[in-house]
Structure 1
Amino acid sequence: MAHPVMFDEDDPLLARVRALCLGFPGAAERISHGRPNFFTTRTFCYYGGSERIAGEWVAHDHAILVRPDPDDAAALAQDPRFFRPAYLGPSGWLGLDLGRPGADWREVGELVDASYRVTAPARLVRTLPEPGAAS
């Protein structure tokens, strides 16, 4: 049984995430478990997810799920803006809900960039400028 589509194609936050993610070398998009999934050979960003709090499912329909840089993961996990997504959290993924006021798109770009660098093949990562370099 196929998963139902759990996003709105006209979502302006999705449009921004899509443009950001598809700007990376070799990046493509597919629908996985009803949600947009951005990948090269492995996924580097999901749009939308959920978490389990006190036995209840909490949806984050306007969130990004990313694999943070290992050097930053512990600090980000302590930041109350981030959540541990269901199913992916045990593998080191974190979620950031973009539907909350004050989303910092520069930070979003840095998070997606770090996730891409952690998951993409080395040959693609080598084509990127150094993190933090002026573009």
Structure 2
Amino acid sequence: MAHPVMYDDDNPHLVRLRALVLAYPGAEEYVSHGRPNFRVKKNFVVFGGSERLGPGEHRQVDSALMVKVEEAEQAALDEDERFFVPAYLGAFGWRALDLAAPGTDWDEVAELVDASYRLTAPKRMIAALDAGGIGPG
């Protein structure tokens, strides 16, 4: 049974995120579990998700940016009230930020996306990014 679509393609946060993410070498978008996922061999960004609040209890965050985070950075993000540990992926080093929250810093979003890309992309794609002229400015 296919998952229902859980996002609006015209969501302004998704539109802005999509432009940022798809500028990376080899990045592609696909829908999984009803949400936009972005990958280069492996996922490095997911748009939308949920936070587990307790047994059988979740909070949906439709404008969440979910990214893979270095282990050394996880504790700092866990202390920041703007971030949450997403259900299912949190145990694998992912953290999430609600892009719809007031005062979202898109420079910080770009840094999170970049770090997640570098954790998951093949070395040749990272080299292409570092060579300049490709990816976000």
Q: Same fold (TM over 0.5)?
A: yes
Deviations 1:66-115 (A, max 9, x none): 01233322211221111100000000100000111000000000000000
3-state secondary structure, aligned to 1:126: helix
Aligned equivalent of 1:115: 116
Q: Report the CA distance between 1:54 and its aligned residue.
A: 2.9
- Matched ranges for 1:91-130 at <5 A: 91-129=92-130
- Structure 1 residue 53 corresponds to structure 2 residue 76: no
Query: What does residue 9 of structure 2 align with?
Result: 9
CA distance in 1, matches of 2:128, 2:117: 12
* Sequence identity (%): 55
Q: Distance between the aligned counterparts of 2:9 and 2:76, measured in 1?
A: 33
Structure 1 residue runs of 4 or more that deviate by more than 4 Å after TM superposition: none
Q: Distance in 1 between matches of 2:71 and 2:92?
A: 12
C-alpha distance in 2, partners of 1:77/1:108?
16
- Residue identity opposite 1:112 in structure 2: V
Partner letter of residue 123 of structure 2?
A
Equivalence for 1:84? 85
CA distance in 2 between counterparts of 1:112 and 1:50 reads 19
Contiguous gaps of at least 5 residues in structure 2: 132-136
CA–CA distance in structure 2, aligned partners of residues 84 and 73 of structure 1: 9
Q: What is the number of equivalent residue pairs in this alignment?
A: 131
